[in-house]
């Protein structure tokens, strides 16, 4: 009998939560097959079978287990049951079949909306707002009766798991990630002298650059040219000029960093994660975009490693993806500053004595006033604004087109 123990996942982490078993108790498992998913205070990770054999659970889903605890056992001496289907057969069925059936019906809907063919047809014909529909099918799938229920109650919305007029109250256990986020946010507010300064950026030049070169950029690099590369590069340059915003307090010392490891806030179903891009000052625009896609994908799939979640020197968060026009972001400890991006909105602006409509974005910089003075914070944000409104300055005097498209 082999004991499978909870592995060490970080120096400061002493316990994790068993999210789910991917193999049932008493099931046959192959060597290296994923048998469970665990969640620490910063990320989720998988446990693999060390040997082939019969799995015996040692904890239930939702249990908190300590590092080094035996979470399950594998009886490697047991004979493989004859009725165990080959793993390959399961994978063959799971891959192509659902795509053929589910892609077509929801083609007219958003890609993340699942609906039966009849339900999808009614939604399209009656132009039903899918947010008003409470799905009852497996995996959140919208069925015909769900759509008819929404049509019979126009203007009325039922909360998740409840009917119209319900007074239901639910309690759910906080995830380890959420339990970690909560005290850290309070600590940030209580232990820093946090202030926020604002400015606004005319995004016209960047939008023109993206429109002009986005197809060629994607053809060469295989990734879209987004806004994050412009903001990350602008912040890296500004951080080199105003180093206090790239530092943090350690006891009675200030620790400065001669590099820009920029954290990017990524929202996931389990909470906010902040993976880190290393040495942004040395990255190209394409490098940044590729790293953003990589880290965001890992965050959504719960595949981020501890190394990818620690060590940032500055953070960028984008509330604009959710429609936020303005906010005051909270500092990501132990860092001393964070930049908040927001929604781009056309507004009338006075340019050269003329009122013109320009695509504007409010930007917010929250900073720790204990080590960052008003002059430094405002100057940093003004510098970021200058770089964004003149994107050729981000390319260090090189030919803009060649630099943007360089491999």
Q: In what order do the strands lie in the sheet with 53-57?
A: 2-5, 70-75, 53-57, 28-29
**Active-site choice (145, 301, 373, 399):** 373
Could you list the beta-strand ranges (E) of 84-193: none
60 Cβ contact partners less than 8 Å away, ≥ 6 residues apart: 18
Q: How far apart are CA 274 and CA 143, in angstroms?
A: 36
- Phi and psi for 323 in degrees, rounded to 5? 100, 5
Give the number of residues written for the chain. Answer: 407
**Active-site choice (32, 145, 301, 369):** 369
Peptide bond between residue 334 and the one before it cis (omega within 30 degrees of 0): yes
- Phi and psi for 327 in degrees, rounded to 5? -160, 170
For residue 20, how many other CB atoms are within 10 A of its CB? 10
- Is 32 part of the annotated catalytic residue set? no
Contact predicate 69/44, CB 8 Å: no
User: What is the distance, to the nearest Å, from the Cα of residue 68 to the centroid of all Cα atoms in its chain?
Assistant: 29
- The β-bridge partners of 315 are 263, 338
57 Cβ contact partners less than 8 Å away, ≥ 6 residues apart: 21, 25, 72
N-to-C CA span, the chain: 52
What are 298's two structure tokens?
């890992």
Q: How far apart are CA 317 and CA 308, in angstroms?
A: 16
Is beta strand 262-264 parallel, antiparallel or unpaired with respect to 314-318? parallel
Of the candidates 328, 348, 350, the residue with the CA atom closest to the CA atom of residue 339: 328
Dihedral sign for Cα 180, 271, 388, 345, please. Answer: negative
Q: How far apart are CA 138 and CA 119, in angstroms?
A: 14
Contact predicate 388/203, CB 8 Å: yes
Q: How far apart are CA 30 and CA 87, in angstroms?
A: 9
- Is 57 part of the annotated catalytic residue set? no
As annotated, the active-site residues are 369, 373
């Amino acid at each position: 009998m082999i004991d499978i123990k909870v592995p060490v996942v970080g120096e400061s982490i002493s316990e994790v939560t068993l999210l789910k078993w991917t193999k049932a108790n008493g099931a046959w498992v192959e060597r290296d097959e994923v048998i469970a998913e665990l969640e620490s205070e910063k990320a989720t990770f998988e446990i693999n079978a060390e040997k082939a054999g019969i799995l015996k659970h040692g904890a239930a889903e939702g249990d908190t287990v300590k590092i080094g605890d035996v979470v399950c056992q594998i009886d490697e001496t047991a004979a493989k049951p004859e009725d165990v289907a080959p793993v390959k057969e399961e994978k063959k069925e799971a891959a192509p079949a659902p795509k053929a059936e589910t892609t077509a019906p929801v083609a007219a809907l958003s890609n993340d909306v699942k609906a039966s063919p009849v339900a999808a047809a009614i939604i399209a014909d009656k132009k039903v707002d899918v947010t008003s529909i409470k799905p009852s099918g497996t995996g959140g799938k919208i069925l015909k009766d769900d759509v008819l229920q929404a049509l019979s109650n126009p203007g009325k919305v039922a909360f998740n798991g409840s009917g119209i007029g319900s007074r239901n109250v639910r309690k759910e256990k906080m995830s380890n990630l959420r339990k970690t986020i909560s005290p850290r946010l309070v600590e940030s507010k209580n232990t820093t002298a946090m202030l926020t300064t604002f400015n606004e950026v005319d995004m016209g030049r960047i939008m023109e650059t993206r429109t002009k070169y986005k197809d060629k950029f994607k053809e060469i690099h295989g990734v879209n040219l987004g806004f994050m590369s412009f903001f990350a590069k602008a912040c890296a340059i500004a951080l080199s000029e105003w180093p206090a915003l790239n530092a943090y307090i350690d006891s009675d010392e200030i620790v400065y960093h001669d590099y820009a490891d920029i954290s990017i806030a990524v929202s996931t179903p389990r909470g906010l994660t902040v993976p880190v891009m290393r040495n942004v000052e040395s990255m190209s625009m394409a490098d940044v975009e590729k790293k953003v896609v990589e880290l965001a994908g890992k965050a959504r799939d719960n595949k981020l490693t501890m190394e990818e979640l620690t060590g940032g020197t500055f953070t960028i968060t984008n509330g604009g993806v959710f429609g936020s026009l303005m906010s005051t972001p909270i500092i990501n400890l132990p860092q001393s500053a964070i930049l908040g991006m927001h929604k781009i909105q056309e507004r009338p602006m006075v340019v050269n004595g003329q009122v013109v409509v320009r695509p504007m974005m409010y930007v917010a910089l929250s900073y720790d006033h204990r080590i960052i003075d008003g002059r430094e914070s405002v100057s940093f944000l003004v510098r970021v604004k200058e770089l964004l409104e003149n994107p050729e300055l981000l390319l260090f005097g090189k030919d803009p087109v060649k630099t943007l498209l360089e491999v």
